């Protein structure tokens, strides 16, 4: 088990990472946060797989426990579904001295975090991510949001947790597709900030295809998750509110959010869209002369075997521009596009226009039809 401490001006907290640590580390965080009530927000699938996991971990604590179960899937990450959480909090007689526990994947973490930021103007939050994607991405850093039909994560708030418990045992039941989706965010941190992490992941490519915990691989996964979270924590500590540096963590997300929005949040998992988006951003960086050919080829060699081929409905220049400008990172007629200047060295290209990206997008779909293709 390893612990990573996120140190921020007003909200420092621990991230506990290891296999089988829920019972040993969750009670301490709950005791720190409340003496009254804990409300667990989860989904139907997680509740069926782990019907009493949180309750069993907190059995010896003198706190009231309630559970709010949400429908599964990104398409439910909306303001309408948020009402289910608020209703559950009201029914549980929750208040600012209660703690909200996000028990599930990234959708749960985002929605529960947004609820914790807004219910009674703020209540304590604990993240217990159960997917690889949530462990290396959404549970760390305090960004919470819900989707709007015209834009991914368009409505949200910053809410740092009291702490995070990443029990790797939950990854045993993770479907291969969900595991692969999480890998893209994990690899992303190596690509943008830690070349040594990228090198080690590339060298262990065979392990990336194995279920976590198989053949004694817990040490590998614990190390990989820890190092990935360390990258994100370091960036968040330098720029908590995404004024500048933290934007590099959005590498690949410009096209990814377009893919998710254009497909109604139903066809591709977030991590799958990010994998395609990272290839496009690396491709653009190489075409612009920023990313050396050797690094571009190494990124392709690691990502292309993992990506899910993306097939999009017809998309013309006007709709492409419209979708990008609805992205929350856009500013009027331009956006901050995240580029690579080498493996482990991401930068921000301000003032990038969607019109400038359109011909690159056309070229990318022509050169990489196995990755991204538009319907006729």
The pLDDT of 91-117, averaged and rounded, is 97
Q: What is the pLDDT of residue 327?
A: 58
In a shared domain, residues 152 and 275: no
166/186 same-domain check: no
- Of the residues 178, 185, 260, 272, only one is catalytic, namely 185
Q: Are residues 110 and 185 in the same domain?
A: no
145 and 39 inside one domain = yes
CA distances from 208 to 37, 201, 256, 299, 308 (A): 39, 8, 22, 15, 15
How far is Cα 107 from Cα 56, in angstroms, rounded to an integer? 24
The verdict on 120 and 227 lying in the same domain is no
59 is an active site residue: no
pLDDT class for 60, splitting at 50, 70, 90? very high
Render pLDDT for 114-144 as a digit per residue (tens, 0 to 9). 999 999 999 999 999 999 999 999 899 889 9
Rounded distance, CA 172 to CA 176, Å?
10
Q: Average of pLDDT values for 206-215?
A: 78
The H or E element that residue 259 is part of is helix 253-262
pLDDT for the residue numbered 375? 86
> How many structural domains is the chain composed of?
2
Shared domain for 314 and 190, answered yes or no, is yes
**Extended strands (E) in the chain:** 2-6, 13-18, 37-43, 64-70, 99-104, 125-129, 143-148, 151-158, 163-167, 310-312, 330-331, 334-340, 346-352, 372-374
Q: Looking at 16, 25, 250, 262, which residue is catalytic? A: 250
Query: What confidence tens digit (pLDDT) does each residue in 13-59 have?
Result: 999 999 999 999 999 999 999 999 999 999 999 999 999 999 999 99
- pLDDT score at 329: 55
Question: Which of 137, 153, 173 lies at the terminal end of a domain, its last residue?
Answer: 173
Counting every residue written for the chain, the total comes to 376
100 lies in the same domain as 145:
yes
195 and 77 fall within a common domain:
no
Domain at 110, CATH number: 3.40.50.1970
What does the DSSP assignment read for 72-105?
A: SSGGG-SHHHHHHHHHHHHHTT--TTSEEEEEES
The active-site residue out of 193, 232, 286, 298 is: 232
Q: Is the dihedral of CA 183, 184, 189, 192 positive or negative?
A: positive
- 257 is an active site residue: yes
Instruction: Specify whether 229 is located in the same domain as 95.
Output: no
Q: Are residues 207 and 114 in the same domain?
A: no
Residues 6+ apart with CB under 8 A from 309: 370, 371, 372, 373
Look at residue 208 in the predicted model and tell me its pLDDT.
Answer: 84
At residue 374, the 3 state secondary structure works out as strand
Q: Which of 74, 222, 240, 242 is catalytic?
A: 242
Cα 248 versus chain centre, distance: 14
* Tens-place pLDDT, residues 254-301: 999 999 999 998 899 999 999 999 999 999 999 999 999 999 999 999
Q: Which of 16, 76, 143, 193 is catalytic?
A: 143
> Catalytic one among 152, 193, 246, 262?
246
Please report, for the domain that includes residue 366, its CATH number: 1.20.1090.10
- Tell me the mean pLDDT in the region 307-320: 93
Catalytic residue at 270? Answer: yes
Report the percentage of the chain scoring pLDDT > 70. 98
| Pair (204, 128) in one structural domain | no
> Pick from 129, 154, 173: which residue ends a domain?
173
Last-in-domain residue among 173, 198, 224:
173
Is residue 246 part of the annotated active site? The answer reads yes
176 belongs to the catalytic site: no
Query: Do 19 and 162 belong together in one domain?
Result: yes
Catalytic entry in 257, 262, 286, 336: 257
Reported as a single tens digit per residue, the pLDDT across 151-176 is 888 899 999 999 999 999 999 999 99
**Catalytic one of 25, 188, 253, 262:** 253
**242 catalytic per annotation:** yes
Residue 296: which domain range?
178-374
Q: Is residue 250 among the annotated active site residues?
A: yes
DSSP 373: E
User: Do 104 and 134 contact (CB within 8 A), yes or no?
Assistant: yes
């Amino acid at each position: 088990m390893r612990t990573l401490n996120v140190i921020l001006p007003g909200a420092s907290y621990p991230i506990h990472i290891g296999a089988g640590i829920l019972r040993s580390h969750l009670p301490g965080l709950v005791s720190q946060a409340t003496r009254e009530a804990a409300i667990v927000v989860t989904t139907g699938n997680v509740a069926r797989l782990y019907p009493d996991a949180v309750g069993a971990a907190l059995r010896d604590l003198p706190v009231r426990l309630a559970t709010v179960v949400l429908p599964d899937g990104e398409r439910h990450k909306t303001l309408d579904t948020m009402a289910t959480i608020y209703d559950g909090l009201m029914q549980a007689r929750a208040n600012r001295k209660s703690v909200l526990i996000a028990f599930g994947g990234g959708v749960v973490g985002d929605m529960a975090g947004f609820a914790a930021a807004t219910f009674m103007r703020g209540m304590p939050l604990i993240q217990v991510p159960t997917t690889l994607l949530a462990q290396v991405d959404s549970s760390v850093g305090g960004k919470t949001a819900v989707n709007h039909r015209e834009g991914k994560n368009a409505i949200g708030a910053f809410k740092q947790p009291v702490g995070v418990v990443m029990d790797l045992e939950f990854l045993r039941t993770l479907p291969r597709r969900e595991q692969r989706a999480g890998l893209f965010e994990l690899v992303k941190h190596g690509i943008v900030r830690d070349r040594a992490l990228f090198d080690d992941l590339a060298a262990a490519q065979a392990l990336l295809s194995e279920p976590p915990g198989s053949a004694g691989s817990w040490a590998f996964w614990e190390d990989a998750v820890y190092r990935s979270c360390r990258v994100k924590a370091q960036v968040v500590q330098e720029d908590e509110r995404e004024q500048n540096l933290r934007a590099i963590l959005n590498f690949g997300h410009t096209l990814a959010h377009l893919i998710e929005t254009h497909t109604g949040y139903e066809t591709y998992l977030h991590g799958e869209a990010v994998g395609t988006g990272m290839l496009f951003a690396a491709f653009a960086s190489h075409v612009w002369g920023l990313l050396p050919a050797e690094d571009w080829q190494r990124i392709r060699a690691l990502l292309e075997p993992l990506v899910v081929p993306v097939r999009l409905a017809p998309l013309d220049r006007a709709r492409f521009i419209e979708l990008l400008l609805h992205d929350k990172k856009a500013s009027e007629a331009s956006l901050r596009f995240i580029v690579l200047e080498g493996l482990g060295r991401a930068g921000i290209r301000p003032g990038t226009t969607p019109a400038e990206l359109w011909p690159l997008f056309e070229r990318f779909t022509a050169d990489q039809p196995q990755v991204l293709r538009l319907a006729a």
